[in-house]
Amino acid sequence: MSPQIPVSDPGLQPERTVLAWGRTLVSFLVVSAVFLRWLPHYGWGIIALIAVAMALAGGIFFSQRRRYRRMAFGLEGGKIHADVVAVLVMTGSMLALGVSGVVLVLSLH
């Protein structure tokens, strides 16, 4: 059994971080819905963009508990670090999705 997660931060830093990642997850789902609306106009190539956006949303969803635990235990131990890799992956992914969408739209019209 894993140890109980401490909640001792009066500013609720772990909760704010999880909420921010939750908003990012919802953003990817909204982007997927927008891509679905593009399907009749731009064809089946858009499915790849939907798959990438959904995979990123799934990655955020399945890493939320681990992220929260790491933040909570980091606060308890007095050592907490930003998750630079996750932020860079999300930034790169958003740029790639945006560029891919623009290229798809411009190549078909």
Tell whether the torsion through CA atoms of 100, 32, 50 and 16 is positive or negative.
positive
Q: What is the pLDDT of residue 76?
A: 64
The region of weakest confidence among 2-11, 13-22, 53-62, 63-72 is 2-11
Q: pLDDT tens, 33-69?
A: 988 988 888 778 788 888 888 988 898 888 887 777 7
User: What would the DSSP string read from start to end of 65-93?
Assistant: HHHHHHHHHHHHHT-----HHHHHHHHHH
Average pLDDT, the chain: 79
Higher pLDDT, 66 or 77: 66
- Nearest to residue 54, comparing CAs of 85, 77, 22, 30? 30
List the chain domain ranges: 13-108
Residue type present at position 32? S
